[in-house]
Structure 1
Amino acid sequence: MSNDRHDESQSSNQRKNHNPKIALILSLLFAGLGQLYNKRYVKGIAFIILELAFIVTFKDFIHLGLWGISTLGTIPGTDHSIFLLVYGLVSIILLAFVITFYVFNVRDAYKQAQLIKKGWEAPTFKESVKEGYDKSFPYLLTAPGLVLVIFTVVFPLMFAISLAFTNYDLYNSPPRNLVEWVGFQNFVNLVTVPLWRSTFISVFSWTIIWTLVATSLQIALGLFLAVLVNDARIKFKKTIRTILILPWAVPGFVSILIFAAMFNDQFGAINRDIMEPLFGVSLPWLTDPFYTRIVLIMIQTWLGYPFIFALFSGVLQSISKDWYEAAEVDGASRWQKFRNITLPHVLFATAPLLIIQYTTNFNNFNIIYLFNQGGPAVRGQSAGGTDILISWVYSLTFETSNYSMAAAISLIIGLMVSIFAIFQFRKTSSFKEEGKR
């Protein structure tokens, strides 16, 4: 009995003398040492093996990557600046994984040391495995997806952002020449150099007009047709709905190419069979930016309204007829019922999707490029008369090889869309109501 009491007293003294700060310092010096100090031998050895394996495998690669991303090479013809930039970004991602692992290692060692000091008894190996599996199971399932997202979304985004701060273009293209870091010079040139400034202002203005007008028109047309077809006096509703949704059934690029042929200045059906016989004029649909922009807005309205029509039709079916009957009893007119019942209900239910329509059209590359490749050309500008920001980026990238400026404009596009979306979502009533539930 006295020996048992002596052992218990000695064990209690050891736990009281167990110092969490020592575990913290050891885990900072090398992953796993803090766990060994806590007598968590399996976990400690596993952490040590992981760190040693990382050092042996990636030490040289990370050294090259960090050197490469800081210098982008020093010997033209030998060092490839873009490869070095890629190595550097991958190295940063790997270091982020290591830092996350190290933070977990330090916190684990320190917290367990505190528990041991308070008298906590470590579970058996079998219990530890079961507990660890239960806690880590969700992370094990999501880890592959997280890694995939990092290397397919985050990494390309980091690469594009990095290019925006370099001078990577046709004249500074590796391996013959080195790429250099230029800071915010591309953004400064965008607002100070006359050619870039005039082009940016023109393209940006048209992008805003295009987004607001084309999207608002397709929403207005979709709402008008949905309300009209939903009227109780309309017969053959299913047939009418089917006909109105037909433009949505045809692939968008096919419709755009057909419209491009129809509006051709020389042989298009619009000029040849409609404008000339009826009005005696032939309009420059593809050679005058003003007319081309009008046509693009009309085509986008045609292509976009079926989705809005189908969306609003479904919402209108959910509005109770009792509301309209009560409004009629109160003497409300058709306009008052629409303004006070139909419109608020529809907008509340569809606001997030309508916001997405605006952000989608802001970057609607397909129609701009397929209809007229962003043309016609405009004197004194490096973009076409109907180019929006995203199609201008495409032209800078694949036609003039001005990669750094294209990346800078892409960064501006991303910031604008993100700010707009976040602001609108926060102001949307449906999201406010969702947050209160």
Structure 2
Amino acid sequence: MANNQNERKAGISQPRNIATLLSILVPGLGQIYNRRIVKGIILLIITISFLVTMWNYIDIGIWGLFTLGTIPQEHHSIQLLLQGLISLIVLAFGIAIYAYNLIDARKDAIAREEGRPNPTFIKGMSNFYDKGFPYFMILPGLIMLVFIVVLPLLFMLALAFTDYNQYNAPPRNLLNWVSFDNFVNLVNVDIWKDTFFSVFTWTIVWTVVATTLQIVLGFFLALLVNDKRIKFKRTIRTVLILPWAVPAFVSILIFSALFNPTFGAINRDLLAQFEIMIPWLSDPFWAKVALIMIQTWLGFPFVFALFTGVLQSVPSDMYEAADVDGGTRWQKLRHITVPHVLFATAPLLIMQYAQNFNNFNIIYLFNEGNPPVRGQNAGGTDILISWVYKLTFETNNYNMAAAITIIMGVLVMGFAFYQFRKTAAFKEEGGRY
């Protein structure tokens, strides 16, 4: 019993434990105890400055984050929510500094136990330059990233769990945390359920069909142009890439005019020759067909340019060996060309699917997601991203828009992560990731 008490006292009296305890009580004291006076004073000043300048802000922010205000028209729930999120970020930085203080004090105390001398000021600056300078240089960029990217994402995530809409908006009303009610309403309430599943299925069809068509068309044209029998290849490549050179919004607006059922050239000059009039803008089905054709036209030049470069890098001796073995044109395409192209371009092709999943420009510029559909609060050609835009800027259903945005983000990240994991271009040697 006496031995255990002696060992416990000896453990407490070890410099590492004393330095850690002092750093827990007051950041910087552990460094001063380790005779790192300058470092200890700097940490102490940083701690005092942080507490003096940020304590009240963090206190109010955390309170507002949990309550979203208690007095209508005096407390603004959105401002309190934003202040609360900023407080969490600032508090995380403070905790990181506090953790560094503990780790550093304990590390110096261990060096003291082992009899290693404290580094001189010049040596300490040299160590900082060798090990800590890169982190110090990326710190401003990291802080900007947190407040420009992470903070808006957290704000959107928080809105999805509130009742912020056109009928309940601050400062007239206070917001409330509603847990997962917004997500439940998407699949339970009739108008939200019908609209969500209709828009969601069209978004999937749009993404798969439009992206696949532009990839297939680009690959087919790249194969043709890469054929040895084709002459004037440079001219043909230049012509095929021209749609990519024109700004997309200009092309979309031109196509919107061309597909106009009243004065558009497609109906008036082309289909009229066969006595056919198609309601491109007023019928949801034909509007979707038009959108898919337009996206195929806009998207294939990039894929064509990508595949053209890759096809030129395929070793010719592989085709020669296939010819010796009696391989057909189809077998060479299937076993040589396609695997080689997909290995080099799969990540970019996956990005094409992700980009079209959130392709707001073409949907909104062509016909603003119209035509209207009875019983739904989204247009017949709206995809999830354009529906979110309408919910945010037209009907002010911020909570539902945030909930749908979260679902979109999860779908895109899940699809991209799964496909990247299956892509050979992302595998290391030996088949491991």
The TM tier, using the shorter chain, reads over 0.9
Q: Which residue of 2 aligns with 1:95?
A: 91
Q: Which residue of 2 aligns with 1:113?
A: 109
SS in 2 for 1:375: coil
Question: How far off is 1:125 after superposition?
Answer: 2.2
SS in 2 for 1:91: helix
- Structure 1 unaligned blocks of 5 or more: 1-13
Question: How far off is 1:17 after superposition?
Answer: 5.8
Task: From 415, 418, 427, give the equivalent of 1:423.
Answer: 418
Runs of 4+ residues over 6 Å off in structure 1? none
* Distance in 2 of aligned mates of 1:235 and 1:252: 30
1:413 aligns to 2:408 (yes or no): yes
1:267 aligns to 2:263 (yes or no): yes
* Distance in 2 of aligned mates of 1:286 and 1:323: 50
* Distance in 2 of aligned mates of 1:340 and 1:355: 21
Q: Which residue of 2 aligns with 1:387?
A: 382
SS in 1 for 2:142: helix
SS in 2 for 1:178: coil
Structure-to-structure mapping, 1:79-228, within 5 angstroms: 79-228=75-224
Q: Which residue of 1 aligns with 2:3?
A: none
User: Contact conserved, 2:15 with 2:112, CA < 8 A, in 1?
Assistant: no
Question: How far off is 1:30 after superposition?
Answer: 1.4
Q: Which residue of 2 aligns with 1:64?
A: 60
User: Contact conserved, 1:17 with 1:117, CA < 8 A, in 2?
Assistant: no
Question: How far off is 1:18 after superposition?
Answer: 4.1
* Distance in 1 of aligned mates of 2:371 and 2:289: 13
* Distance in 1 of aligned mates of 2:121 and 2:14: 21
User: Contact conserved, 2:160 with 2:403, CA < 8 A, in 1?
Assistant: yes
Q: Which residue of 2 aligns with 1:248?
A: 244
SS in 1 for 2:330: helix
Task: From 318, 321, 324, give the equivalent of 2:316.
Answer: 321
Structure-to-structure mapping, 1:29-68, within 5 angstroms: 29-68=25-64
1:308 aligns to 2:308 (yes or no): no
Which letter does structure 1 place at the counterpart of 2:39?
A: K
Which letter does structure 2 place at the counterpart of 1:189?
A: N
* Distance in 1 of aligned mates of 2:123 and 2:333: 65
Task: From 405, 413, 432, give the equivalent of 2:427.
Answer: 432
Which letter does structure 1 place at the counterpart of 2:427?
A: K
* Distance in 2 of aligned mates of 1:34 and 1:421: 47
1:350 aligns to 2:345 (yes or no): yes
Task: From 361, 364, 378, give the equivalent of 1:366.
Answer: 361
1:378 aligns to 2:373 (yes or no): yes
Question: How far off is 1:105 after superposition?
Answer: 0.6
1:76 aligns to 2:72 (yes or no): yes
Moved more, 173-182 or 295-304: 173-182
Q: Which residue of 1 aligns with 2:6?
A: none
User: Contact conserved, 1:18 with 1:116, CA < 8 A, in 2?
Assistant: no
Q: Which residue of 1 aligns with 2:4?
A: none
1:22 aligns to 2:23 (yes or no): no
Could you list the per-position Cα deviations for residues 313-364 of structure 1 after superposition, in whole angstroms to 9, with x for gaps in the alignment? 0000001111111111111111111111111100111000000000000000
* Distance in 2 of aligned mates of 1:85 and 1:364: 30
User: Contact conserved, 1:264 with 1:286, CA < 8 A, in 2?
Assistant: yes
User: Contact conserved, 1:365 with 1:390, CA < 8 A, in 2?
Assistant: yes
- Report % sequence identity: 62
Q: Which residue of 1 aligns with 2:7?
A: none
* Distance in 1 of aligned mates of 2:366 and 2:428: 42
- Structure 2 unaligned blocks of 5 or more: 1-9
Could you list the per-position Cα deviations for residues 4-54 of structure 1 after superposition, in whole angstroms to 9, with x for gaps in the alignment? xxxxxxxxxx9x964211111111111101111111111111111000001
* Distance in 1 of aligned mates of 2:134 and 2:328: 56
Question: How far off is 1:134 after superposition?
Answer: 2.6
* Distance in 1 of aligned mates of 2:114 and 2:132: 25
Q: Which residue of 1 aligns with 2:5?
A: none
Q: Give the TM-score taking structure 2 as reference length.
A: 0.95
* Distance in 1 of aligned mates of 2:122 and 2:324: 73
Task: From 217, 232, 257, give the equivalent of 2:228.
Answer: 232
User: Contact conserved, 2:73 with 2:172, CA < 8 A, in 1?
Assistant: yes
Aligned residues: 423
* Distance in 2 of aligned mates of 1:229 and 1:129: 60
SS in 1 for 2:427: helix
SS in 1 for 2:206: helix
Q: Give the TM-score taking structure 1 as reference length.
A: 0.95
* Distance in 1 of aligned mates of 2:41 and 2:57: 25
* Distance in 2 of aligned mates of 1:243 and 1:433: 38
Distance verdict in 2 for CA 1:149–1:228, change over 3 Å: same
SS in 2 for 1:226: helix
* Distance in 2 of aligned mates of 1:123 and 1:227: 65
SS in 1 for 2:223: helix
SS in 2 for 1:286: coil
Moved more, 396-405 or 105-114: 105-114
Could you list the per-position Cα deviations for residues 176-228 of structure 1 after superposition, in whole angstroms to 9, with x for gaps in the alignment? 11111111110010010011011010000000000000000000000000000
